[in-house]
């Protein structure tokens, strides 16, 4: 389970997150569009013994690029969705971490000013939030600290019956082909279907038996539509 900072603005937060990864070493540091000179003295000062996470950070140009290396991408947000807002529907924090710990995963944190943009959330399989008071926007490094603490304490938990995200992604590819055959208009209606199925299946703890039944159903539906 790696930790990704999306376009971080401050060297202090980059250093602080690196130090946290040294405290709770559950994965690597990923930075998407880092600021210039992010390996500066300020970053080193706040990272202390965790500075090697900065030196060895995996750098990407966009959230979409993460798909080639991770089967499960989890976003974080302070903005809770309305009932009809599929894009920002969240799962409980522990549920998200539990799924992250048993998959090749990365958890995204938006920058200090605006969080994750909708275009970045579109690339996520799951979205989670940290419960807080009415003022629920946390400092970036504080939010990472909470997630890493839970991940570290939950690292020995296992659910051997639950399928990994790669199988769910294959099922989503099958469903996407069926959506195309059903003739949804290209545009918002098709996007709504995509978001619904990705959100629904990624949030569920499907077992091997359940995923086989779903594959069988959608394969049969695919054949009917040929």
Complete domains list, the chain, with CATH: 2-153 (3.40.1280.10), 165-225 (no CATH)
- The mean per-residue pLDDT over the stretch 33-56 comes to 96
d(CA 31, CA 53) in angstroms, rounded, equals 11
List, in sequence order, every residue forming a beta bridge with 128; answer none if it has no partner: 76, 91
pLDDT at 85 (0 to 100): 60
pLDDT at 199 (0 to 100): 81
- The mean per-residue pLDDT over the stretch 177-202 comes to 79
Lowest mean pLDDT of 21-30, 100-109, 140-149, 170-179, name the range.
170-179
Q: Is 31's pLDDT higher than 90?
A: yes
Q: Is 161's pLDDT higher than 70?
A: no
Three-class secondary structure assignment of 115-169: ECCHHHHCCCCEEECCCCCCCCCCCHHHHHHHHHHHHHHCCCCCCCCECCHHHHH
* Confidence tier at 135 by pLDDT (50, 70, 90): confident
Share above pLDDT 90 across residues of the chain, in percent, rounded to a whole number: 54
Q: Is 67's pLDDT higher than 80?
A: yes
Identify whether the C-beta of residue 165 lies closer than 8 Å to the C-beta of residue 203.
no
- Tally of CB atoms within 10 A around 44: 16
- The mean per-residue pLDDT over the stretch 190-198 comes to 81
pLDDT at 188 (0 to 100): 65
d(CA 31, CA 14) in angstroms, rounded, equals 9
- The mean per-residue pLDDT over the stretch 23-50 comes to 96
pLDDT at 206 (0 to 100): 82
Select the more confidently predicted residue: 40 or 163.
40
d(CA 186, CA 175) in angstroms, rounded, equals 15
SS3 for 203? helix
d(CA 69, CA 71) in angstroms, rounded, equals 7
Average pLDDT, the chain: 88
Select the more confidently predicted residue: 125 or 193.
125
Select the more confidently predicted residue: 205 or 35.
35
Q: Is 179's pLDDT higher than 80?
A: yes
pLDDT at 87 (0 to 100): 66
**pTM for this entry:** 0.79
- The mean per-residue pLDDT over the stretch 69-93 comes to 81
pLDDT at 3 (0 to 100): 98
Share above pLDDT 70 across residues of the chain, in percent, rounded to a whole number: 92
- Tally of CB atoms within 10 A around 204: 16
Select the more confidently predicted residue: 2 or 158.
2
């Amino acid at each position: 389970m790696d930790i990704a900072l999306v376009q971080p603005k401050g060297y202090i937060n980059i250093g602080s997150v690196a130090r946290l990864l040294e405290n709770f070493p559950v994965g690597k540091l990923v930075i998407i569009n880092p600021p210039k000179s992010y390996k500066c003295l300020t970053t080193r000062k706040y990272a202390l013994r965790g500075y090697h996470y900065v030196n060895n950070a995996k750098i990407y140009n966009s959230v979409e690029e993460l798909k080639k290396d991770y089967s499960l991408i989890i976003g974080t947000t302070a903005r809770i969705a309305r009932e009809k807002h599929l894009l920002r529907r969240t799962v409980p924090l522990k549920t998200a971490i539990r799924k992250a710990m048993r998959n090749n995963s990365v958890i995204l944190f938006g920058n200090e000013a605006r969080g994750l943009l909708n275009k970045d959330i579109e690339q996520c399989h799951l979205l989670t939030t940290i419960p807080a008071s009415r003022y629920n926007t946390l400092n970036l490094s504080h939010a990472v600290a909470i997630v890493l603490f839970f991940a570290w304490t939950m690292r020995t938990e296992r659910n051997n019956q639950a399928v990994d995200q790669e199988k769910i992604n294959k099922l989503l590819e099958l469903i996407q082909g069926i959506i195309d055959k059903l003739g949804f208009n290209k545009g918002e209606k098709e996007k709504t279907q995509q978001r619904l199925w990705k959100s629904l299946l990624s949030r569920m703890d499907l077992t091997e038996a359940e995923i086989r039944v779903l594959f069988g159903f959608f394969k049969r539906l695919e054949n009917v539509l040929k």
